[in-house]
Amino acid sequence: MITIGVILALLGFVGWMVYLFNTLVSLSNHADAAWAQIDSQLARRYELVARLLDLVKTSQAAAGPAQEELAAARAAAMNAYTPAEKSQAEPPLAAGITTVLALAHSLPQLTTNEEFLQLQHTLTDIEDYLQGARREYNALAEDLNARSASFPNSFLASLFGVDSRELYQPAHT
Protein backbone atom coordinates (compact mmCIF):
# COMPACT_ATOMS: atom_id res chain seq x y z
CA MET A 1 0.00 0.00 0.00
CA ILE A 2 2.82 2.41 0.83
CA THR A 3 4.51 1.62 -2.50
CA ILE A 4 1.40 2.58 -4.46
CA GLY A 5 1.11 5.81 -2.45
CA VAL A 6 4.77 6.67 -3.09
CA ILE A 7 4.41 5.91 -6.80
CA LEU A 8 1.27 8.05 -7.03
CA ALA A 9 2.95 10.88 -5.13
CA LEU A 10 6.01 10.65 -7.40
CA LEU A 11 3.82 10.63 -10.52
CA GLY A 12 1.90 13.62 -9.18
CA PHE A 13 5.13 15.48 -8.50
CA VAL A 14 6.52 14.69 -11.96
CA GLY A 15 3.21 15.73 -13.55
CA TRP A 16 3.27 18.99 -11.63
CA MET A 17 6.87 19.68 -12.73
CA VAL A 18 5.95 18.93 -16.35
CA TYR A 19 3.02 21.34 -16.06
CA LEU A 20 5.26 24.09 -14.63
CA PHE A 21 7.85 23.52 -17.35
CA ASN A 22 5.24 23.58 -20.11
CA THR A 23 3.82 26.80 -18.70
CA LEU A 24 7.25 28.45 -18.78
CA VAL A 25 7.98 27.24 -22.30
CA SER A 26 4.56 28.38 -23.51
CA LEU A 27 5.04 31.86 -22.02
CA SER A 28 8.53 32.02 -23.50
CA ASN A 29 7.26 31.07 -26.95
CA HIS A 30 4.39 33.57 -26.76
CA ALA A 31 6.80 36.34 -25.68
CA ASP A 32 9.13 35.47 -28.57
CA ALA A 33 6.22 35.54 -31.02
CA ALA A 34 5.01 38.89 -29.67
CA TRP A 35 8.51 40.35 -29.98
CA ALA A 36 8.79 39.02 -33.54
CA GLN A 37 5.59 40.90 -34.41
CA ILE A 38 6.96 44.11 -32.91
CA ASP A 39 10.28 43.67 -34.68
CA SER A 40 8.49 43.05 -37.98
CA GLN A 41 6.47 46.26 -37.64
CA LEU A 42 9.56 48.21 -36.66
CA ALA A 43 11.35 46.94 -39.77
CA ARG A 44 8.35 47.96 -41.85
CA ARG A 45 8.49 51.42 -40.29
CA TYR A 46 12.21 51.70 -41.13
CA GLU A 47 11.37 51.03 -44.78
CA LEU A 48 8.63 53.66 -44.70
CA VAL A 49 11.00 56.18 -43.13
CA ALA A 50 13.39 55.64 -46.03
CA ARG A 51 10.51 56.36 -48.44
CA LEU A 52 9.58 59.44 -46.41
CA LEU A 53 13.14 60.70 -46.61
CA ASP A 54 13.15 60.17 -50.38
CA LEU A 55 9.90 62.12 -50.77
CA VAL A 56 11.09 65.02 -48.64
CA LYS A 57 14.53 65.06 -50.27
CA THR A 58 13.14 67.23 -53.08
CA SER A 59 13.05 70.21 -50.70
CA GLN A 60 16.49 69.93 -49.13
CA ALA A 61 16.54 73.52 -47.84
CA ALA A 62 13.33 73.15 -45.87
CA ALA A 63 14.13 69.90 -44.13
CA GLY A 64 17.88 69.32 -44.46
CA PRO A 65 18.94 69.07 -40.79
CA ALA A 66 15.74 67.30 -39.80
CA GLN A 67 16.26 64.78 -42.61
CA GLU A 68 19.83 64.14 -41.47
CA GLU A 69 18.71 63.60 -37.88
CA LEU A 70 15.95 61.24 -39.00
CA ALA A 71 18.35 59.29 -41.22
CA ALA A 72 20.79 58.95 -38.31
CA ALA A 73 18.01 57.89 -35.92
CA ARG A 74 16.80 55.32 -38.47
CA ALA A 75 20.30 53.88 -38.82
CA ALA A 76 20.69 53.66 -35.04
CA ALA A 77 17.29 51.98 -34.66
CA MET A 78 18.07 49.48 -37.41
CA ASN A 79 21.27 48.51 -35.55
CA ALA A 80 19.40 47.87 -32.28
CA TYR A 81 18.24 44.31 -31.73
CA THR A 82 17.12 43.62 -28.18
CA PRO A 83 14.07 45.18 -26.55
CA ALA A 84 16.34 47.28 -24.30
CA GLU A 85 18.37 48.52 -27.29
CA LYS A 86 15.18 49.26 -29.24
CA SER A 87 13.78 51.08 -26.20
CA GLN A 88 16.74 53.46 -26.39
CA ALA A 89 16.83 53.82 -30.17
CA GLU A 90 13.16 54.27 -31.00
CA PRO A 91 12.32 57.61 -29.27
CA PRO A 92 14.73 59.68 -31.41
CA LEU A 93 13.33 57.96 -34.51
CA ALA A 94 9.73 58.74 -33.51
CA ALA A 95 10.68 62.36 -32.78
CA GLY A 96 12.44 62.61 -36.14
CA ILE A 97 9.41 61.23 -37.97
CA THR A 98 7.18 63.79 -36.24
CA THR A 99 9.55 66.65 -37.11
CA VAL A 100 9.93 65.67 -40.77
CA LEU A 101 6.19 65.14 -41.16
CA ALA A 102 5.54 68.58 -39.65
CA LEU A 103 8.05 70.15 -42.05
CA ALA A 104 6.57 68.23 -44.97
CA HIS A 105 3.15 69.69 -44.22
CA SER A 106 4.53 73.13 -44.98
CA LEU A 107 5.40 72.00 -48.52
CA PRO A 108 2.43 72.27 -50.87
CA GLN A 109 3.82 69.71 -53.32
CA LEU A 110 3.83 67.06 -50.54
CA THR A 111 0.50 67.85 -48.90
CA THR A 112 -1.23 66.98 -52.18
CA ASN A 113 1.01 64.00 -53.01
CA GLU A 114 -1.02 60.79 -52.74
CA GLU A 115 2.04 58.69 -51.91
CA PHE A 116 2.96 61.03 -49.06
CA LEU A 117 -0.57 60.98 -47.66
CA GLN A 118 -0.68 57.17 -47.82
CA LEU A 119 2.75 56.96 -46.22
CA GLN A 120 1.67 59.23 -43.39
CA HIS A 121 -1.46 57.14 -42.84
CA THR A 122 0.54 53.89 -42.81
CA LEU A 123 3.05 55.31 -40.33
CA THR A 124 0.16 56.26 -38.03
CA ASP A 125 -1.31 52.77 -38.33
CA ILE A 126 2.05 51.21 -37.44
CA GLU A 127 2.39 53.45 -34.38
CA ASP A 128 -1.08 52.43 -33.21
CA TYR A 129 -0.27 48.75 -33.73
CA LEU A 130 3.04 49.08 -31.90
CA GLN A 131 1.36 50.54 -28.81
CA GLY A 132 -0.90 47.52 -28.44
CA ALA A 133 1.81 45.04 -29.35
CA ARG A 134 4.18 46.59 -26.81
CA ARG A 135 1.57 46.20 -24.07
CA GLU A 136 0.98 42.57 -25.03
CA TYR A 137 4.70 41.74 -25.20
CA ASN A 138 5.45 43.46 -21.89
CA ALA A 139 2.56 41.63 -20.17
CA LEU A 140 3.90 38.30 -21.43
CA ALA A 141 7.48 39.20 -20.50
CA GLU A 142 6.45 40.33 -17.01
CA ASP A 143 4.44 37.14 -16.47
CA LEU A 144 7.31 34.97 -17.70
CA ASN A 145 9.84 36.88 -15.57
CA ALA A 146 7.68 36.63 -12.45
CA ARG A 147 7.01 32.93 -12.91
CA SER A 148 10.59 32.04 -13.76
CA ALA A 149 11.85 33.92 -10.70
CA SER A 150 9.80 31.88 -8.21
CA PHE A 151 10.67 28.46 -6.86
CA PRO A 152 10.51 25.77 -8.26
CA ASN A 153 10.09 27.51 -11.63
CA SER A 154 13.47 29.20 -11.24
CA PHE A 155 15.09 25.79 -10.99
CA LEU A 156 13.27 24.51 -14.08
CA ALA A 157 13.94 27.72 -16.04
CA SER A 158 17.67 27.59 -15.36
CA LEU A 159 17.83 23.85 -15.93
CA PHE A 160 16.14 24.05 -19.34
CA GLY A 161 17.41 27.45 -20.50
CA VAL A 162 14.19 29.44 -20.29
CA ASP A 163 15.49 33.00 -19.98
CA SER A 164 13.74 36.06 -18.64
CA ARG A 165 12.83 38.78 -21.14
CA GLU A 166 13.70 42.45 -21.30
CA LEU A 167 10.76 44.81 -21.43
CA TYR A 168 10.19 47.05 -24.44
CA GLN A 169 9.58 50.50 -23.02
CA PRO A 170 10.57 53.29 -25.37
CA ALA A 171 10.69 56.59 -23.53
CA HIS A 172 8.28 59.17 -24.89
CA THR A 173 9.87 62.17 -26.50
Q: What is the pLDDT of residues 26-75, one digit of tens each?
A: 999 999 999 999 999 999 999 999 999 988 887 655 557 888 999 999 99
Domain boundaries, the chain: 2-160
Q: Which amino acid is at 9?
A: A
CATH superfamily of 2-160: LemA-like domain (1.20.1440.20)
Distance CA 63, CA 107 (A): 10
Q: What is the pLDDT of residues 83-129, one digit of tens each?
A: 999 999 999 999 999 999 888 888 888 778 899 899 999 999 999 99
Chain center to CA of 6: 47
